[in-house]
Structures are given as C-alpha cells and as structure tokens.
Amino acid sequence: MPYRAPVSELSFLLDKVIGFKAVQETERFAEASPDMVSAVLTEAGRMCDEVMAPLQRNGDLYPAVLENGVVRSSKGFDAGYRAIAEGGWVAITADPAHGGMGLPLTVATAVNEMMSGACLSLQLNPLLTQGQIEALEHHASDEMKALYLPKLISGEWSGTMNLTEPQAGSDVGALSTKAEPNGDGTYAISGQKIYISWGDSDLVENVCHLVLARLPDAAPGTKGISLFMVPKYLPDEDGNPGVANTLKVVSLEHKMGLHGSPTCVMSYEGATGWIVGEPGGGMKAMFTMMNNARLGVGGQGVGAAEGAYQHALAFANERKQGKNDHDTIIGHADVRRMLATMKAEILAARAIALDCAVSIDMGRATGAPEWTARAAFLTPIAKAFGTDIGCEVSEMGVQVHGGMGYVEESGAAQFYRDVRVTAIYEGTNGIQAMDMVGRKLMDGGEAATRLLDEIEAEAEAAKGTMPELAAAVWEAAETLRETTEWLVGRAMPERFGTAVPYLRAFARVLGGHYHLRAAMADPDGSHGKLARFYITRLLPEHMGLLAHVRAADGDLMAISPDDLAA
C-alpha cells in the first residue's frame, strides 16, 4: 500500500487533543484559521503522497554518491526537492518579512511529520534548513538576514549544521575548528567536521554551513565557541553564488540506512566565514537551531513510525496464513497486538510532539514564561520518545512481515534502518534524558509539576464519563509525581543513571493523558478503543520504569568495567 499522509488524524489531534485552538486565538497567529490550516495540511499531504512517497525506495536503492568532489543526489530527489521548495514547504514558519508564511510551529510540526513518513532522507534536507533559518532570524545581523534568509526560505539555497568533529561528539565543547580574523570583518575557518548531513547537494545553488569554531585565545569548553556562516559559494555583489569557498566534502559515510541523505566528512581550509551573533555566543545561537531540530527529529521518528505502520497494516491485510484459505494474518491475536501497539504508540508520540510545538507557539505569542518552560520540558521528551517509538514501531513492522520483513524487497526493513539514527543524532536519547533530569528539573520540578497537575485535573474531570480509564491515568500521574519529587532531591550524578527510564515513564503518562482526551472526544470510535488498549496494556509500564528510577544508581556504578568484562 502506498503511503497516505495522516491528514485527518493530525486534524483530529490538533482540534480535539492538544488544544491548538489556543494558538489560533492569539493575535500573532490569528491568520492560521481552521480553514487555512486544513487547506495547508491537505495540500502538504497531497505532495507527500504523490511526490515524496514514491522516492522513499530510491533513497535506499540509489544512495547519494560523491563524484569528483560533488554530491549527486538519489534518483528523483531533484524533482522531489523542487516540489518541496516550490510548494513553500521548506519554511512555513519563517518570518513573512523574508518570504516566509509566519505559520505556527505546530502546523510545521504536522507537515514535517508527514514529509518524514513519505521520505525521511529527503525530508532531512529542509528540516536542517528550517533550523538554520530560525538561528539566523534570532542571531544574525540585518545584513546577513537580508542576504541569506530569502534564498533559504525559497529553497534555492539549503542549510547545514556543523558541530561534530572526530573528538567532539556528545561533548561539543571539545571541538577544535579554528576561526582566525581576516582583518576585513570575515574569518578564515579551518578544521574537519564529520557526519554533516546534506553537507553538499546538487539540489540547490548554494549550501550554507553554520559552523561552530574557536576564535584565537578563546576560553576552553563551550564558552569559547562561536558560530560562523560559511557558504559553499561566496555571494557576489548581487547576492548570487560567486567564487567557490575553500571547503570540500572529503568523503561520504557508508551507513546502516538513510542512504538518500549524504553524510559528509567536511574539510574547511581557511574558508571564508562571517560570525553569527557574538564572539563566544556560538552555543547560544546553535541552541536555537538545535531546539528546533530536536522537536523536528522527534517528528521524524513519528513520521517514520507512521510509514512503517501503514506498510505493516497493508501486509497484514493481504498475507494469508492460517487454518482457512481466506485467513489473513490480521486475524491472529498477536498480529493484532502488534498493530494496535504501533498505532497507540504513534498517537502518544505524535501528541507529545504537537503539544510541545503548541507550547513553543504559545510562548512566542504570549511571552508567558510558563509556556516557554513547558516547551523546554517537553522538548527532550518529544525528541527521545518520538525517535524511540520510530525505532520500536518500525522494528515491530519488520516482525509483522515475518520473513518478508527481513527481505529487503518488502521495504519494511528500510523504515527501521532509516529511522535508527534519529535516536542518535541531534543529541543521543541518553543525552536528552540527562537534559530532562538535569537542566529541566533545575526549577525544582515546577514545570513537571504543572504538567502533572494538568493531567490529574483532566483525569478527575473525566472520571464521571470514563471512570476506569480516568482513574488509571490519575493514579499513574500521582505515582510519577511522587517519583519526581524524590528525584529532585537527589544529587545530579545519581539522577543520570536513571534518566532514561524517568523520561520514558513521563512519556508513558503523557501518552495516557492524550489517549484519554482522544477517547473523550471519540468514545465509541476507534480512538476510544485504542485508548482502552493503551491505558490498560501499555501505560502500566510506567510502574516498572519508576521502580528502575527509585533504585537510584549506587548499584549501577558499583558494576565496574572489570565486572562488565568478567
């Protein structure tokens, strides 16, 4: 079955589950009326179905290659990219002053998810450009904005982010790329960056690299990092791509999946760059890009899960296996369990990502710090849970296919291979969890508690209509509250050993909350049944996870490297 963008499900979630109406009622986003949003989702969904989804296999079968120093994209990606750019889908949230549509991030999150489900490796290209646009909107000079933003927003140029170096992965502060002042306001950038997604392409006229580097005598660690714009071609007087910059793609990585996205080793050899923001302010500027990208990558996980689910569902409806000739495997209870799990997990992860986007939009529209804190708390959950679900659902998709799942021609394995990296890049999911129990609980658990209050209040209100489900969600939130209070009292290193199960438990409980809302809106339909499945079968996982958290980590670090080798 070909991919069908889940437009109606996304609309249901926006309207009934995550309270998008509040965003539409703000002055800033007043233009995003229900009719307009519906038209945007429908049109984006059509482009995903008709243009992007047919390219998904091409990315795998015809990987991007490096030919004479230039990256050649996968077969058909040029037409796909043109459709994205011409449709205005590169940057629908961007400032209208530079050619954007100024739409809420919530709408972009829905569109990005659909594009990810259709063709993940191609979608990564505009996702990176979106992050770059946001970083420039916040931190670049007016001159730089005027030069770069219109080209990035129109998709004529694309953007990359260059953090990683061989010795500087999760520990970005260890990077050593240098930036020497040229004396004319520009800088000479020298160093090697690895794993740079879409570090070059033949889809655009220019590739704009945002590069983290160190000025001479910069402080060690993250404080001494600055951010630079380093384009592949130096813009000429008219702002068009001019002389080639002194940078090159050295090689492409051979990866497990996502073959349509070229992952480049980049060499900067005194390349001309312009500083973005203040000297030493590189991490601050890059965080703008990374926060956007973290939510975007969470959405990639959800999108890939949706694609894998649709694939598995179609197979289960066709594959005959059973006592009777006409039995298809969807009739078997275990296959039904897998499909229901996939669908229920997707709703939970999708709602978390959209709710995070709503919080960002509300923070921007109202300036209220509670919304910003809510968004900050939800961001690592949206990234880690969204991508974990992407991996788990696509792995289950392989299982639904039986032996055919292991055979490449079915296409089931590609979803798993492609999405696997989303749990690694943009900060591994372990690092996301540490951010959650570290920085995001530094408010003494205030943002977490506010979310739990919200969940409990709604569960309380739902008790009259759905007593059993509402009570289960309320109790789960209360157990999580107790563990949160306990965790806030622990020292930081102790928290880190339990960060991953804590994040997962929070996501589980949030999932119960959104499923309950969906059931209240559609009690007798598929959402009501799916909510019962999630809340009675999947939500209880939080108890085991929280027991893991409460065990603290004294026992964990007592297992020495020698014990592990024994």
283 binds ligand FAD (CB under 6 A): no
- 562 contacts: CB under 8 Å, gap ≥ 6: none
Which value, to the nearest 10 degrees, does the dihedral of the CA atoms of residues 153, 268, 223, 284 take? 0
What is the CB neighbour count within 10 angstroms for residue 445? 19
Which of 430, 438, 528, 540 touches ligand FAD by CB under 6 A? Answer: 430
- Asked if 412 contacts 397 with a C-beta cutoff of 8 angstroms, the reply is yes
Distance CA 438, CA 435 (A): 5
| Total number of residues that touch ligand FAD (CB under 6 A) | 20
Distance CA 302, CA 5 (A): 12
Which residues in the 404-423 window bind ligand FAD by CB under 6 A? 421
62 binds ligand FAD (CB under 6 A): no
The residue sitting closest to ligand FAD, measured at its beta carbon, is 169
Q: Which is nearer to ligand FAD, 62 or 425 (CB)?
A: 425
3-state DSSP assignment of residue 136: helix
163 binds ligand FAD (CB under 6 A): yes
- 261 contacts: CB under 8 Å, gap ≥ 6: 59, 64, 120, 121, 122, 124, 125, 197, 198
- 124 contacts: CB under 8 Å, gap ≥ 6: 197, 198, 258, 261, 300
What is the CB neighbour count within 10 angstroms for residue 323? 6
Distance CA 548, CA 63 (A): 42
Mask 300-339, x = binds ligand FAD (CB under 6 A)?
Answer: ----------------------------------------
Mask 6-45, x = binds ligand FAD (CB under 6 A)?
Answer: ----------------------------------------
Q: Which is nearer to ligand FAD, 163 or 247 (CB)?
A: 163
Which of 5, 44, 53, 161 touches ligand FAD by CB under 6 A? Answer: 161
162 binds ligand FAD (CB under 6 A): yes
Which of 56, 58, 158, 197 touches ligand FAD by CB under 6 A? Answer: 197
Distance CA 166, CA 175 (A): 9
201 binds ligand FAD (CB under 6 A): no
CB of 171 to ligand FAD, least distance (A): 6
Which residues in the 170-189 window bind ligand FAD by CB under 6 A? 170
Distance CA 225, CA 213 (A): 6
- Asked if 118 contacts 126 with a C-beta cutoff of 8 angstroms, the reply is no
387 binds ligand FAD (CB under 6 A): no
Which residues in the 253-282 window bind ligand FAD by CB under 6 A? 255, 258, 263
CB of 538 to ligand FAD, least distance (A): 25
196 binds ligand FAD (CB under 6 A): yes
Write down the residue that tokens 């639904």 correspond to.
400
3-state DSSP assignment of residue 62: coil
Q: Which is nearer to ligand FAD, 164 or 190 (CB)?
A: 164
Q: Which is nearer to ligand FAD, 263 or 292 (CB)?
A: 263
Q: Which of 113, 426, 456, 458 does the annotation list as catalytic?
A: 426
432 binds ligand FAD (CB under 6 A): no
Which of 186, 428, 449, 479 touches ligand FAD by CB under 6 A? Answer: 428
- Note the maximum CA span of the chain: 80
Query: What is each CA distance from 270 to 18, 136, 191, 353, in whole angstroms?
Result: 48, 23, 8, 40
Candidates 115-123, 155-163, 280-288, 409-417: pick the segment binding ligand FAD (CB under 6 A): 155-163
Distance CA 267, CA 211 (A): 11
CB of 253 to ligand FAD, least distance (A): 7
Q: Which is nearer to ligand FAD, 49 or 392 (CB)?
A: 392
CB of 158 to ligand FAD, least distance (A): 12
3-state DSSP assignment of residue 247: strand
Distance CA 415, CA 302 (A): 11
**What angle, 0 to 180 degrees and rounded to 10, lies between the N-to-C axes of helices 120-139 and 77-86?**
40
Candidates 63-71, 424-432, 480-488, 536-544: pick the segment binding ligand FAD (CB under 6 A): 424-432
What is the CB neighbour count within 10 angstroms for residue 404? 16
Which of 12, 62, 233, 425 touches ligand FAD by CB under 6 A? Answer: 425
Q: Which is nearer to ligand FAD, 383 or 508 (CB)?
A: 383
Residue 468 annotated to the active site:
no
CB of 256 to ligand FAD, least distance (A): 9
164 binds ligand FAD (CB under 6 A): yes
Mask 221-260, x = binds ligand FAD (CB under 6 A)?
Answer: ----------------------------------x--x--
Q: Is the dihedral of CA 150, 153, 155, 158 positive or negative?
A: positive
The full DSSP string for 142-198 is: HHHHHHHHHHHHHTSEEEEEE--BTTBSS-GGG---EEEE-SSS-EEEEEEEEEEET
Q: Which is nearer to ligand FAD, 333 or 491 (CB)?
A: 491
Write down the residue that tokens 């296919």 correspond to.
401
CB of 435 to ligand FAD, least distance (A): 11
433 binds ligand FAD (CB under 6 A): no
Which residue type does 532 have? R
Long-range Cβ contact pairs of 554-558 (< 8 A, separation 24 or more) = 554/494, 556/497, 557/497
Q: Which is nearer to ligand FAD, 89 or 195 (CB)?
A: 195
CB of 441 to ligand FAD, least distance (A): 16
CB of 302 to ligand FAD, least distance (A): 19
What amino acid positions are annotated as catalytic residues? 426
Residues found near ligand FAD in the complex (CB under 6 A): 160-164, 169-170, 195-197, 255, 258, 263, 421, 424-425, 427-428, 430-431
